[in-house]
Amino acid sequence: MGDNLFPLDSLSGFVDGYKEAKSKVKQFQDELEKWEEAARTLGEIIQKTLEMNDVSPDVDGRTKWIGTVNGHPVIRLLKSSRSNFDVKQFRADHPNEALKYTKQTVQYRIAIVNEENG
């Protein structure tokens, strides 16, 4: 493999734990993605239903209860907006300025070596 090998025998339990933790993270990320997709789909159905019934906030723009189940409010329509800095457009319009403010960082991470591919 090379001259840059560092024995980690004393850390074998930690390495095994790390492998297991990474495996669990992947498992939960997959599960999370499924639940996020379900929430997104169900939210879209609710939003379309509200739009079809022309439901909107009060005239003054404040939050208003708009949906009930068994008489209890369960859905509110919230008005929100946000502004973002368009980095791509800035780079296109001002390439020299963008370079001047671009900062490069270096990070290291560990990766488990697969026994099959070293």
CA distance 51 to 55: 6
Task: Note the pLDDT of residue 67.
Answer: 78
CA distance 98 to 52: 44
- 22's CB contacts (< 8 A; 6+ apart) are 112
Task: Note the pLDDT of residue 30.
Answer: 93
SS3 14: helix
| Domain parsing of the chain, residue ranges | 10-100
CA distance 75 to 87: 35
Q: What is the pLDDT along the chain (118 residues), one digit of tens a residue?
A: 557 778 888 989 998 999 999 999 999 999 999 999 999 999 899 888 877 877 766 656 666 667 788 888 888 777 677 899 999 999 999 999 999 988 889 888 877 787 655 5
SS3 80: coil
Mind giving me the DSSP string for 25-74? Answer: HHHHHHHHHHHHHHHHHHHHHHHHHHHHTT----TT---EEEEEETTEEE
Task: Note the pLDDT of residue 65.
Answer: 63
In this prediction the pTM is 0.51
